[in-house]
Amino acid sequence: MVKFLDLVGQYNEIKDEIDVAIARVIGSAAYIGGPDLTAFEEEFADFQQAQHCVGVANGTDALEIAIEALDLPSGSEILVPANSFVASSEAVTRSGHRVLFCEADAVSYTIDLDDAAHRVTEKTKAMIVVHLYGHPADMAAVMTFARKHGLKVIEDCAQAHGAEFDGRRIGAIGDIGAFSFYPGKNLGAYGDGGAILTDDEQLARKSRMIANHGRIDKYDHQFEGRNSRLDGLQAAILRAKLPHLDTWIDRRNAVAQRYFDALGDLDWLILPTIADNVRHAFHLFVVRTDHRDALQAFLKENGVSSGIHYPIALPDLGAYDYLRGPDTPILATKLAPTLLSLPMGEHLTESDTDKVIAAVRSFQP
Ligand SMILES: *Cc1c(COP(=O)(O)O)cnc(C)c1O
């Protein structure tokens, strides 16, 4: 079977470095906080070209804390693209605000700003931009849009570690960015983990306080925060992996190139696109076809695993019954039954990609 994800293979590739990192943390019992966390925060900020990094417990918390740090009036509206993982919108509601779903763009799969422009009201105070599948949103257009409408920009970078827009890494181009280190992400921990990036010192300080019970000293709490930590073991593991990430992303791009070269002529299959001025992180390689379910079953019979991201558009989830109306976005709903994620990752060999390509090509739509 060509694997969709191979975390054991990845561990074996860098086993010595990971084992040393884990032993270092256990040997010093630096489980909460500690030198590896501090070092990882610096190294990850550097890697993403941001001024500040705050490690937190997971990517969903990163989004929630980032939104909370912005201190928007409660009940503010926040724009969210309709095709994403539920955390992107969940974080808005959990932090006391209201989701305004927007259409996703059918080419980049990121937020459709023309559609978003029609949805902005007086109460709209921020937007969440998701660099979906690892392709950066058009951050030049996003920042112009946000300035025009007076909106804060939160980047959901859970799928886009290492991606670049116009030569700059994503994450701190907007006001604040949220990352996930869920094991299957391009940079994954051995459990849950997340981080917040920003160039704004005040936002970094506020985020760090929210994630740490609102404290400024051990028992001095300025407000009620919460407990959301990136633990020492995860930080050490992430530090061991970070130096490999650029190479892994290059390998992902090489896999994508092989798919582009070999599948581009199939008229029943729509391949992803890459904008000129970006580095795609290729967390996922998502194709579209009207024969999605048949293709997925055929691939499985031929030893190729695949995924669907996401089978139900956010506005169609039961959780959002209360938001549905005549203006509810429709494109993500139409696209959902056509999306299929082919195997993608640094684990794929040329013979793996050949096998995927041969299977797709022999499918009779
Ligand atoms: C994975 C993911 C998240 C949430 O991250 P967790 O670490 O699982 O909480 C948020 N947004 C997107 C787009 C994701 O893919």
How big is the CA angle at 116 (ends 111 and 118), to the nearest 5 degrees?
Answer: 160
Kindly state whether residues 31 and 135 are assigned to the same domain.
Answer: yes
pLDDT tens for 36-45 read: 999 999 999 9
Q: Is 185 tagged catalytic?
A: yes
Strands 176-180 and 152-156: parallel
What is the pLDDT, as a whole number, of residue 185?
98
Mutate to test the pocket of ligand 1, among 84, 159, 192, 196 (most ligand atoms within 8 A of CB): 159
Provide the pLDDT confidence category of residue 216 given band limits of 50, 70 and 90.
confident
What is the pLDDT, as a whole number, of residue 218?
86
Kindly state whether residues 217 and 251 are assigned to the same domain.
Answer: no
Strands 220-221 and 176-180: unpaired
Mean pLDDT calculated for residue range 139-166:
98
Kindly state whether residues 357 and 259 are assigned to the same domain.
Answer: yes
Mean pLDDT calculated for residue range 304-319:
97
Kindly state whether residues 255 and 192 are assigned to the same domain.
Answer: no
Q: Is 25 part of any domain? A: yes
pLDDT tens for 167-192 read: 999 999 999 999 999 999 999 999 99
Q: What percent of the chain has pLDDT over 70?
A: 100
The minimum-distance atom of ligand 1 relative to the CA of 87 is 10
Measure 86 CA to ligand 1 centroid, in angstroms. Answer: 8
How big is the CA angle at 131 (ends 225 and 191), to the nearest 5 degrees?
Answer: 55
Provide the pLDDT confidence category of residue 205 given band limits of 50, 70 and 90.
very high
Q: What is the mean pLDDT of the chain?
A: 97
Pairwise CA distance, residues 207 & 176, whole Å: 10
What is the pLDDT, as a whole number, of residue 217?
85
Q: Is 2 part of any domain? A: no
Distance of CA 124 to the CA centre of its chain: 23
Kindly state whether residues 229 and 250 are assigned to the same domain.
Answer: no
Residues with CB under 6 A from ligand 1: 58-60, 84-85, 87-88, 130, 156, 158-159, 180, 182, 192, 194
Provide the pLDDT confidence category of residue 334 given band limits of 50, 70 and 90.
very high
Nearest to 239 by CA among 37, 45, 9: 37
Kindly state whether residues 60 and 155 are assigned to the same domain.
Answer: yes
Pairwise CA distance, residues 198 & 178, whole Å: 9
pTM: 0.98
More confident residue, 269 or 218: 269
Mean pLDDT calculated for residue range 207-233:
95
Measure 180 CA to ligand 1 centroid, in angstroms. Answer: 6
Nearest residue (CA) to ligand 1, atom 1: 158
What is the pLDDT, as a whole number, of residue 281?
98
CATH number of the domain at 212, please. 3.40.640.10
Nearest residue (CA) to ligand 1, atom 14: 158
More confident residue, 216 or 186: 186
Mutate to test the pocket of ligand 1, among 155, 156, 231 (most ligand atoms within 8 A of CB): 156
Which of residues 185, 219, 242 is at a domain's end?
242
Mean pLDDT calculated for residue range 221-236:
97
**What's the one-letter identity of residue 310?**
Y
Q: Is 171 part of any domain? A: yes
Measure 64 CA to ligand 1 centroid, in angstroms. Answer: 11
For the chain, how many structural domains are there in total?
2
Full domain range(s) for residue 195? 7-242
Mean pLDDT calculated for residue range 294-319:
97
Kindly state whether residues 254 and 234 are assigned to the same domain.
Answer: no
Mean pLDDT calculated for residue range 267-281:
97
Measure 157 CA to ligand 1 centroid, in angstroms. Answer: 8
